[in-house]
Amino acid sequence: MKLVLFDCDGTLVDSAGLIHETMRRTFVHFGKPEPSFEDTKAIIGLTLDIAIARMQGKQHVDDEAVEMMAYYKSLFSVVRADLDYREPLFDGIRELMDTLEARDEILLGAVTGKSRRGLDSVKRTHGFKFIASRTADDCPSKPHPAMVTECCDETGMRAADTLVVGDAIYDMQMAKAAGATAIGVSWGYASVEELKQAGADAIVNHPSEILAHIG
């Protein structure tokens, strides 16, 4: 029996464009310089208040970052509607998830910096069935291991029998801190070298390659 925990943004769905446009509008609203697309990609995976603070060079979350986070959340669905954006799946993810969902010895979960509402939207859109999930509303920000350890506790699985699949350095660091196997994906928002330096046990270039690491 294996527990496979997927990051969402940059791993299952390509949401960078939506996140960046929402972030850009948020910064403009607060009179801040517009972030670059690379600036936004670098913080995807972090809890939103920490992400916004880091994009401004702040070491800690302050009241302004919290206020900006609240505005971002209020704007997100508006931007999605404006762009008619549905956070599409990366190529090969649908086939991978269908294969894994059909296997009784595999438990699927999600560990994401999205809000619970954001994850629920992705689940509804794409029909994902996660037996356990943790979001930014439930746990400390990655790379804290709580998202992984709480999913393990909920499912009765050991971290040693758990794989974390993600595209960010924070996913790799979180997995290693929890004692789980860290699988980095090359199609996301961090480079392969960054994932390796963050502790990835393996790098995959296509979703189908994940099957070999699950066994």
In this structure, what CATH number is given to the domain that contains residue 54? 1.10.150
Is residue 67 domain-shared with residue 110, that is, in the same domain?
no
Tallying the residues shown for the chain, one arrives at 215
Q: Name the stretches of the chain with pLDDT < 50.
A: none
- pTM assigned to the model: 0.90
pLDDT of residue 77: 85
Is residue 107 domain-shared with residue 178, that is, in the same domain?
yes
Is residue 28 domain-shared with residue 124, that is, in the same domain?
no
Is residue 21 domain-shared with residue 36, that is, in the same domain?
yes
Residue that is last in its domain, among 66, 83, 100: 83
Is residue 125 domain-shared with residue 181, that is, in the same domain?
yes
Is residue 111 domain-shared with residue 177, that is, in the same domain?
yes
pLDDT of residue 120: 95
pLDDT of residue 215: 83
Q: How many folded domains does the chain comprise?
A: 2
pLDDT of residue 81: 84
pLDDT of residue 43: 93
Residue that is last in its domain, among 53, 83, 113: 83
Is residue 189 domain-shared with residue 126, that is, in the same domain?
yes
Name the nearest CA neighbour of 47 among 132, 122, 116, 108.
116
pLDDT of residue 133: 98
Is residue 94 domain-shared with residue 69, that is, in the same domain?
no
Residues spanned by the domain of 37? 16-83
Q: Where are the beta strands (DSSP E) in the chain?
A: 2-6, 106-111, 132-134, 162-166, 181-185, 202-204
pLDDT of residue 69: 96
Cβ neighbours of residue 137 closer than 8 Å, sequence gap 6 or more:
115, 116
pLDDT of residue 13: 96
CA distance 95 to 177: 30
Name the nearest CA neighbour of 69 among 33, 34, 19, 140.
19
